[in-house]
Amino acid sequence: MTEERFENLRPAPIGEMIVSATPNDVLIAYGLGSCVAICLYDPVVHVGGILHALLPTPTTESRVNGRPTKYVDRGIVLLLESLFKHSAKRFRLLVYLCGGAKMVTTMGFEDMLNIGERNVIAAHEVLEAHNLRIRAEATGGAAGRTVKLYIATGKVTVRTLRGGEEVLGS
């Protein structure tokens, strides 16, 4: 039997987060295009979480509508709070950032439509404001990604359609 048969895949849908301290859990964010996944893991208490954020921050016209986790700025704060409730400590957190691809390209609108880049910038700013340093990242480009966080070990893998799967930060 392979190790993978004992995995309990737990998806983080778009605009949501998931936290776990169950060793067999593998948290996964499928199909990251312009969305970003922020993965946080405490290697001492073996708790981790993924935020699968859609947009950098709410605009004045938009409403959170009960889903603050769809925004990078609000979602990271909620992810941190949830991890702290599971005894994680800020100074031990390993931080990984994935996604933020440029998925829509229309002549003359390249900068306006680059939500992926704006998501990555927002993630950097919020993580820095919380004194969290990114250990590794796979961001930008034009390819979608799927990211997994293994709760037992803290390993983070990233799969792209073109490049296969790799361990992030190894």
pLDDT, tens digit (0-9, with 9 covering 90-100), for 17-31: 999 999 999 999 999
Question: Could you confirm whether 35 is annotated as catalytic?
Answer: yes
The one catalytic residue in 19, 28, 35, 80 is: 35
Other CB atoms within 10 A of residue 91 CB: 8
Domains (range + CATH), the chain: 3-160 (3.30.1330.200)
How large is the greatest C-alpha to C-alpha distance in the chain, in angstroms? 53
Q: What is the pLDDT of residues 116-128, one digit of tens each?
A: 999 999 999 999 9
Angstrom distance (rounded) from CA 61 to CA 166: 39
Q: What does pTM read for this prediction?
A: 0.90
